[in-house]
Structure 1
């Protein structure tokens, strides 16, 4: 008789697949690694401010004459040139004792900051008898810190009669006031950006806990990015300005939050299909990870195109921004998923995704929009494109580049008040000095040529060294005027006939002229390069030619529509005196690269769905499933850039508003209506010449 040995029945718990110990431990290992990285990154991030540079040479074209003048001045006795212009005013007319007070102030300034010239600069009366003015060349050795020197100069002028106003202006004081504004940007911007992102995440997730996770991850990415940028400056001596430092913060918070929204959306979907969070996260990373990688790669590649710019500040922004986007991507694909897995489903409370629930969004408002666009395909893409084309006309007849004295938003610093007072009270002497540098042996001949140039009020020899001699030139026309610009061109032509490239014309006005010229040249070179790079990445990602061309075309139309609209707003609503020269290129970069982000988020899902259901049905499903998260991401990114509008510099205000408006137009109109409509109109030809097009599996669907 054979005996049978009965095995104990397996419990329900025993029947479940055993969880891999690696899967269980991996999130904790990732968190441990990141703790170490962030400790090291925090140390480096704290040093970023020490390598941030805002000198004129850091914002100028590397090859410009004015840049070479600054470098040549540094070799002269006393170093780089500096100048205080001091103007006093008593609106009711000068009184006895006022001139003596001005002379005391002049003597005090000359003793503290003067360059040792034999004769004190003349004190000039205004024609209406209300103002006195003098200019003081500075000894660079006594002006280690321009901001501190300007503050000290203003303090020295406090000893004056009541009712006699005094203003310290001139190139050094204006630069000092600009630096003071920049010094307050980073901390203000970081706090404001974090607050805006936190509010939007709370509104998006409607959870008391979930919003903290992406905010903490983005904060970690910001710390990492600042540490990486500091390391890059040590390794490659890249230029980091306060402008690029501010844009770094906005980029990391905006892009990082976008990646978080995309990943959370896909993770929530997968939690309806998988019991264990680690399995759901693996599926979410397989689905959303390639889109995040492609998106980050596109923005990084676009930013690195800025390395081909001639303007130092623009060229330096490339690697700074790329480090920020790379850091955001790395954190959001490693640290952020680990945090979500460790916290489990409860992090979504009170809207916890349940296993087995239907996550399909075809019945949502985005599903209904997809159906509407499908029924009105041609109208849905033709009308918006016509409207955007009309808005682009707003750039026609717009004011020229922003003048120097109009670069401050909301408040007017003392240096600008003083400069405007000089223009009003001394119209014949309001010209800003230019600097001509020549070889010592040519200085007399060059001086004669300069003096005889039309538009020059006067010129005199200044300092001389072994390699360079300095000539100070006073133009007839005021700064940033057409007459002054013509004088600079005539001067450069006149001295070129004498010394060729060995004679240079610089100074503040020449610097702004060279900067505007470089910005124009950089737009011609960099903008097409960005389009080619983005087009290539989209082609590789979608394995098609038609789709990338369509997507890039829509982004370009969206940019010019936003630029035209914002130009009208800047001039007629906000009252700005012009468009800062760097704004179009920086705005184009961000709107094209970041706009393609949303193209990638949408079209990778559309392609995935089209492979199963055909292009028309796949587009409907793709829009229904991604419309909400893309719109949320766009609103967050727009709000993040809009924070720049709170800063006191017109350049950053214009960049912030332009990118915010462009992102909203691109997200709400172009990405939600125009692109789906064009995709459904083209049908399977969207994917030409890929396998998806060759299979023709959706030809029947395209007729629906």
Structure 2
């Protein structure tokens, strides 16, 4: 190739990626503007809660998000307290973003120690800002002994938004710092980590730019957790792929004087495993499109876009930067031509990996059986896994006004006060539906929406609709739209609790007999949204996990030209995941004392651990296959381990560190996912990929490559006593 092309091609690649880096970097400030954390938007359109939400907007006109302001004093509210509370309610009405006439009078508790005010916030407003203004007004009420909190769905939304506030700066800073430190320690070079992280950040910036444009065009949705996972996944995956290329490039520099020749040699040796590794992750992520839950569904394409750019950067920008830097990238330990490189080192050499290879050669069966039993013991912790849902008030770790306020509400009022179950029923079924609701344990009271009523609702008892208004005035009537009425059932349990979800399930069953197939009674509201979310998440978990296993196994069969090896590799990944989840369950229950876990936690943990764990399988077994062609099946396993051990270990440490960085955000879901993936990756790196798979492959020998022609090649000669 002409010299001018050797200069022009890498220069153009670097300039193109530099432009993407700049454009994408400017998009970081826009990603928060296109993200949403509204749980309803992520439900399937067919869910009962979604249908009720759509009908409810016809009844209410302006869509709103309720906030509940609770005031409390031990020993009872004083007259001065009641005056202050009334003044505060009046002030709330003037707060920008609060719906006109959307503030209720103060409602005292039966014990006289508390009062609550309901505030309806316009759903089109910036909810976290409106809640911030309301909380500032509460903070200005400086009265000894009078406690106040803003809770309810609006308060929870604001707390969740606050918890995600550090996702752009803090999360990236922690992740990049951890990766940089690991790379400096591993390579003892100041320049190489900067090149790798520069390549990873370019991939992330390009991915963010594309995602922001698609979200702004309403082609996809993005929320806080998807945003955080995108950042971590791109940084971790791009760095992993970079490590594989750099290992090959360093080997090539020991053989070739020319940087250009070494670059092409490195690309020939690394493009297939890098593409295969990225392809398995993309395939696993795109399978999330089969999910019912939209929050699961949208993660697939968003994260897949990130992996595509990680692959492109690793196979274009990184080689161009390494070509530019050459041997200087490894300073002060520059590779020299003719120097004994990793590919030429004998299994009798000193070092961790040659020593481990000799150990496996002596005791392969003992090692893989012991490793399997150890993983099996760790997997027993799965018996204590609680992943059937958790109250939304537990989503935010640390300080949370909405959680503290909900505790006070449950102490002095029915737990579901302010977040009632919403029932849509045919007009003729109003009283039968109310009778079912009132006869159900856990329902405190029932009302029906009425535009004629001063309070907006009419109480409904077993005797019928109770009149409201001055004596002699025209009786208020329920609001009827399209032959339907809207009932509200206040539950005795907090709207975000698992008890409330169980009660909604019971109500749906009982009310099924009241409606008809053509005109059913539907139950929605805050609790129903959480219930339908959990139900969809469990469905997705049971569907996606088998699909991921099947697709990845097929990819491995094509890549490795074998049936036996992929089956064993998939089995090891599943066992490793079960072990990681088992240990995580023990830690969550007994160390962190988490209340439980969302059903999507095991699903996301599985997708990332299996897809990324298979990356390491690919790194190892593609090199083992390459060495087997030259040295035979058993010797090929040991040489493959020695040649990839350092790369896989470094990649595992980097990936574990990047996912662990998710734990800096005070979000229960992300903290649990961070621990599961970080621990699982380390377990996979140091036990499964370093001991179990090499020992098992060595013990099986050439049969592991059946039915390819490698399975018919002779195994390497047995080692001699001097090699022990």
TM-score (norm 2): 0.89
Give the secondary-structure state (helix, strand or coil) at the position aligned to 1:342: helix
CA pair 702-232 structure 1, distance change in 2 beyond 3 A: farther
Query: Are residue 66 (structure 1) and residue 49 (structure 2) matched?
Result: yes
Query: Are residue 365 (structure 1) and residue 340 (structure 2) matched?
Result: no
Query: Are residue 696 (structure 1) and residue 696 (structure 2) matched?
Result: no
Write out aligned runs for 1:81-100 (5 A).
81-91=64-74, 93-100=76-83
Look up the match of 1:30: 13
CA pair 79-502 structure 1, distance change in 2 beyond 3 A: farther
| Whole-angstrom distance in 2 between the partners of 1:609 and 1:594 | 23
From 198, 201, 205, the equivalent of 2:183 is: 201
Look up the match of 2:277: 295
| Whole-angstrom distance in 2 between the partners of 1:83 and 1:39 | 41
Give the secondary-structure state (helix, strand or coil) at the position aligned to 2:256: coil
From 433, 442, 463, the equivalent of 1:455 is: 442
1:109 deviates by 2.7
- Asked if 2 retains the 8 angstrom alpha-carbon contact of 1:519 and 1:582, the reply is yes
- Asked if 1 retains the 8 angstrom alpha-carbon contact of 2:417 and 2:490, the reply is no
1:45 deviates by 5.3
Write out aligned runs for 1:434-445 (5 A).
434-438=421-425, 443=430
Give the secondary-structure state (helix, strand or coil) at the position aligned to 1:47: helix
Look up the match of 2:457: none
CA pair 458-71 structure 1, distance change in 2 beyond 3 A: same
| Whole-angstrom distance in 2 between the partners of 1:606 and 1:454 | 64
From 246, 254, 269, the equivalent of 2:236 is: 254
Give the secondary-structure state (helix, strand or coil) at the position aligned to 1:473: strand
1:177 deviates by 1.3
Look up the match of 1:620: 638
Write out aligned runs for 1:458-469 (5 A).
458-462=445-449, 464=479, 466-467=481-482, 469=485
CA pair 115-212 structure 1, distance change in 2 beyond 3 A: closer
Query: Are residue 672 (structure 1) and residue 686 (structure 2) matched?
Result: no
- Asked if 1 retains the 8 angstrom alpha-carbon contact of 2:423 and 2:488, the reply is yes
CA pair 19-581 structure 1, distance change in 2 beyond 3 A: same
Look up the match of 2:261: 279
1:138 deviates by 1.4
CA pair 236-686 structure 1, distance change in 2 beyond 3 A: farther
From 531, 536, 541, the equivalent of 1:518 is: 536
Give the secondary-structure state (helix, strand or coil) at the position aligned to 1:334: helix
CA pair 697-167 structure 1, distance change in 2 beyond 3 A: same
1:116 deviates by 6.3
Query: Are residue 173 (structure 1) and residue 127 (structure 2) matched?
Result: no
What do the CA deviations read for 1:646-694 (whole angstroms, capped 9, x no partner)? 111111000001000000000000000000011111111110001211x
Query: Are residue 414 (structure 1) and residue 401 (structure 2) matched?
Result: yes
Which deviates the most, 614-623 or 208-217? 208-217
Look up the match of 2:298: 316
Look up the match of 2:381: 394
Look up the match of 2:361: 374
CA pair 80-701 structure 1, distance change in 2 beyond 3 A: farther
| Whole-angstrom distance in 1 between the partners of 2:480 and 2:309 | 47
From 344, 348, 353, the equivalent of 2:330 is: 348
- Asked if 2 retains the 8 angstrom alpha-carbon contact of 1:527 and 1:588, the reply is yes
1:469 deviates by 3.9
How many residue pairs match? The answer is 682
1:85 deviates by 1.8
Look up the match of 1:425: 412
CA pair 235-614 structure 1, distance change in 2 beyond 3 A: farther
1:232 deviates by 3.4
Look up the match of 2:164: 182
Query: Are residue 654 (structure 1) and residue 637 (structure 2) matched?
Result: no
Give the secondary-structure state (helix, strand or coil) at the position aligned to 1:88: strand
**Gaps in structure 1 of 5+ consecutive residues:** 1-17
| Whole-angstrom distance in 2 between the partners of 1:324 and 1:418 | 39
- Asked if 1 retains the 8 angstrom alpha-carbon contact of 2:389 and 2:498, the reply is no
Write out aligned runs for 1:117-156 (5 A).
120-121=104-105, 123-125=107-109, 127=111, 129=112, 131-136=113-118, 138=120, 140=122, 144-156=125-137
Give the secondary-structure state (helix, strand or coil) at the position aligned to 1:529: helix
| Whole-angstrom distance in 2 between the partners of 1:44 and 1:100 | 48
| Whole-angstrom distance in 2 between the partners of 1:640 and 1:681 | 35
| Whole-angstrom distance in 2 between the partners of 1:236 and 1:701 | 63
| Whole-angstrom distance in 1 between the partners of 2:33 and 2:720 | 63
1:499 deviates by 4.0
CA pair 119-221 structure 1, distance change in 2 beyond 3 A: closer
Give the secondary-structure state (helix, strand or coil) at the position aligned to 1:63: coil
Look up the match of 1:585: 603
- Asked if 1 retains the 8 angstrom alpha-carbon contact of 2:627 and 2:639, the reply is yes
Look up the match of 1:477: 493
1:430 deviates by 5.8
Query: Are residue 663 (structure 1) and residue 651 (structure 2) matched?
Result: no
Look up the match of 1:6: none
- Asked if 2 retains the 8 angstrom alpha-carbon contact of 1:431 and 1:477, the reply is no
CA pair 263-160 structure 1, distance change in 2 beyond 3 A: same
CA pair 617-85 structure 1, distance change in 2 beyond 3 A: same
What do the CA deviations read for 1:500-529 (whole angstroms, capped 9, x no partner)? 464321222222221221111111100000
1:139 deviates by 5.6
- Asked if 2 retains the 8 angstrom alpha-carbon contact of 1:683 and 1:702, the reply is no
- Asked if 1 retains the 8 angstrom alpha-carbon contact of 2:183 and 2:193, the reply is yes
- Asked if 1 retains the 8 angstrom alpha-carbon contact of 2:557 and 2:563, the reply is yes
1:75 deviates by 3.4
Give the secondary-structure state (helix, strand or coil) at the position aligned to 1:344: helix
Look up the match of 1:569: 587
| Whole-angstrom distance in 1 between the partners of 2:488 and 2:72 | 27
- Asked if 1 retains the 8 angstrom alpha-carbon contact of 2:48 and 2:524, the reply is yes
| Whole-angstrom distance in 2 between the partners of 1:314 and 1:294 | 24
From 25, 38, 42, the equivalent of 1:55 is: 38
| Whole-angstrom distance in 1 between the partners of 2:702 and 2:716 | 7
| Whole-angstrom distance in 1 between the partners of 2:502 and 2:41 | 25
1:395 deviates by 2.0
1:294 deviates by 0.3
Look up the match of 1:104: 87
CA pair 170-39 structure 1, distance change in 2 beyond 3 A: closer
What do the CA deviations read for 1:571-611 (whole angstroms, capped 9, x no partner)? 11111111222110000000000000000000000000001
- Asked if 1 retains the 8 angstrom alpha-carbon contact of 2:371 and 2:692, the reply is yes
What do the CA deviations read for 1:529-552 (whole angstroms, capped 9, x no partner)? 000110011000001000000001
Give the secondary-structure state (helix, strand or coil) at the position aligned to 2:574: helix
What do the CA deviations read for 1:119-177 (whole angstroms, capped 9, x no partner)? 944522353x5x31224151637x61211221222233334533311111112211221
| Whole-angstrom distance in 1 between the partners of 2:612 and 2:719 | 30
CA pair 523-120 structure 1, distance change in 2 beyond 3 A: closer
Give the secondary-structure state (helix, strand or coil) at the position aligned to 1:183: helix
- Asked if 1 retains the 8 angstrom alpha-carbon contact of 2:28 and 2:168, the reply is no
**Gaps in structure 2 of 5+ consecutive residues:** 451-478
Which deviates the most, 336-345 or 355-364? 355-364
CA pair 179-696 structure 1, distance change in 2 beyond 3 A: same
Query: Are residue 383 (structure 1) and residue 338 (structure 2) matched?
Result: no
Which deviates the most, 588-597 or 480-489? 480-489
- Asked if 1 retains the 8 angstrom alpha-carbon contact of 2:409 and 2:415, the reply is no
Look up the match of 2:470: none
| Whole-angstrom distance in 1 between the partners of 2:15 and 2:643 | 34
Look up the match of 2:392: 404
- Asked if 2 retains the 8 angstrom alpha-carbon contact of 1:559 and 1:588, the reply is yes
Give the secondary-structure state (helix, strand or coil) at the position aligned to 2:598: coil
